[in-house]
Each structure stands twice: as structure tokens, then as C-alpha cells.
Amino acid sequence: GDSVTQMEGPVTLSEEAFLTINCTYTATGYPSLFWYVQYPGEGLQLLLKATKADDKGSNKGFEATYRKETTSFHLEKGSVQVSDSAVYFCALNTGTASKLTFGTGTRLQVTL
């Protein structure tokens, strides 16, 4: 079945550091890939998505590129801020399964 594997957290960075959160997937068919973010005390919200190979999703300075050859969708940001502290979830869905399959989440803590 479909699955998503994320790097374990927590990830602790200083402000303005470069961020990478790794995500790899296993899926039947051609999935769409997502990053969701959960800020403290808030619900999950979509951060970015990509629906086909080589697409790059981007939002709020975050980027992720759909790499079919490595089945990966790593999240990157060039310069993190304290306000980026949150839990980040990688997810996928396919036309056949429809439901979103999530990774376990990676907690990011950014300090001054």
C-alpha cells in the first residue's frame, strides 16, 4: 500500500539557517504530493503541493520538487524564521485511493 517516510525530528535550527526535511514515498500509480504544516495550537493547513513529476511546489519561501526517480519530495527553505516553528507533514494521494496518506511528521524548532 501507499506509505510516506519522513525524517525524524525534532529539528532544531538557528534563525536564518537552511532547512531540509526529507520525505520519500511508496505509492501505486502516480501520486500527488503535499506538505502540510501544523503551527502550535492550530489545525493542519496545506503548505504546498505538486501533482506530477518534476513539478515544484512553493509557498512562504518553502519549496519541494517532485522527484519520481528517487520517489522523494524533500522540503527546503533557504532561511528559516522563528515563526516557522511547527510540525511538518509530508503526504500523498492517488486517483485510485483518494485518501491522504501522511508521514509521521517532523517537528521544527527555530531559535534566535
Partner 1 sequence: GAGVSQSPSNKVTEKGKDVELRCDPISGHTALYWYRQSLGQGLEFLIYFQGNSAPDKSGLPSDRFSAERTGGSVSTLTIQRTQQEDSAVYLCASSIRGRSGTEAFFGQGTRLTVV
Q: Shortest distance, CB of residue 79 to partner 1, whole angstroms?
A: 26
Binding to partner 1 by CB under 8 A, coded x per residue (else -) over 19-58, reads: -----------xxx-x-x-----xxxxx--x-x-------
Q: Does 77 bind partner 1 (CB under 8 A)?
A: no
Nearer Cβ to partner 1 (49/74): 49
The residue type at 89: F
Q: Does 102 bind partner 1 (CB under 8 A)?
A: yes
DSSP string, 59-106: ETTEEEE-BTTTTB--EEESS--GGG-EEEEEEEE-TTT-S-EE---E
Cα separation, 68 vs 30, whole angstroms:
9
Report whether 102 contacts 6 (CB < 8 A).
no
Q: Is 82 in the site for partner 1 (CB under 8 A)?
A: no
Instruction: List residues near partner 1 by CB under 8 A.
Output: 30-32, 34, 36, 42-46, 49, 51, 89, 93-95, 98-105
